Amino acid sequence: MNGITFDTSFGRAALVYRVRIRRIFLPTADSSGLEAELALLSPSLVGPHRSLITDVVGRLQAYLTGEPVRFSLECLDLASCSPFQQEVLRVTFAIPYGEVRTYRWVAAELGKPGGARAVGNALARNPFPLVVPCHRCIRSDGSLGGFQRPHLKEKLLSMEGYSFH
């Protein structure tokens, strides 16, 4: 596997890839943790997948400056996710820029109306944040719900133009 770190307007981010992207690390001002996690990987962008990775990095950087960027699931290695999590990620991927849906809504879309907590758990382990916009899922009461860094979730939604009531 290979890893690469890159700068964004939100801080330093990283991704890990083989043929497709295996994991995306959210941007952070303190990148020492990113560097430590990637230290065991080859941090060079080499091989036939260079254009795919370069494209995704460019899209992530553009998205984090406020551009409404379109991503593709084709660049992601979903095989490391359980079948249920793959379903959750696919439904969440379709949530439009600047809009939110509830965990309950995602569960209903999957035909599991009582599965909001399972959806939340699947999204808590989302290895592809930003590309699969788990930050666009909120609780039924309108509160933000979980996210790796709640202040970042609020910042991302604000950047997308979502209005908090």
Write down the pLDDT at residue 40.
59
Write down the pLDDT at residue 85.
98
CB neighbour list of residue 139: distance below 8 Å, 6 or more residues apart = 102, 103, 145
Catalogue all structural domains in the chain, each as residue range(s) with its CATH number: 2-73 (3.30.160), 81-159 (1.10.10.10)
Spatial distance between the Cα atoms of 140 and 138, rounded to a whole number of angstroms: 7
Largest CA distance in the chain: 47
Name the pTM for this structure: 0.89
Is the distance from CB of 132 to CB of 147 less than 8 angstroms? no
Write down the pLDDT at residue 135.
94
What is the set of active-site residues? 134
Average pLDDT, consecutive stretches of 10 residues, N- to C-terminus, the chain (165 residues): 87 89 89 69 56 92 95 94 98 96 97 95 95 95 78 92 81
